[in-house]
Amino acid sequence: MAIAATHSGTSVALPVISGAQLLPWAVFGGLLLVLMVYFVGAEQGATSLIQGREVHEFVHDARHLLGFPCH
């Protein structure tokens, strides 16, 4: 089943994406989001996985923008 879109009298069939096709991408995007929130909100704190202050300094402004305390 495809949805037809018209533009200037020409019909173009648009593909329909099913939930089964979308699920792996949604999981991947969710994992990336969780990883980003970890690095912005928690890395270089009590649960630090990476030694040094490079990650903290790289995401410093994002911490303040998102409301995470860092100092």
Tens-digit pLDDT string for the chain (71 aa): 556 555 666 777 888 888 899 999 999 999 999 988 887 777 666 667 777 777 777 888 888 888 877 76
CB atoms within 10 A of CB 60: 16
Sequence ranges of the domains in the chain: 17-66
Residue 30: helix, strand or coil by DSSP?
helix
pTM of the predicted model, to two decimals? 0.59
Using alpha carbons, select from 71, 70, 40, 36 the residue that is nearest to residue 55. 40
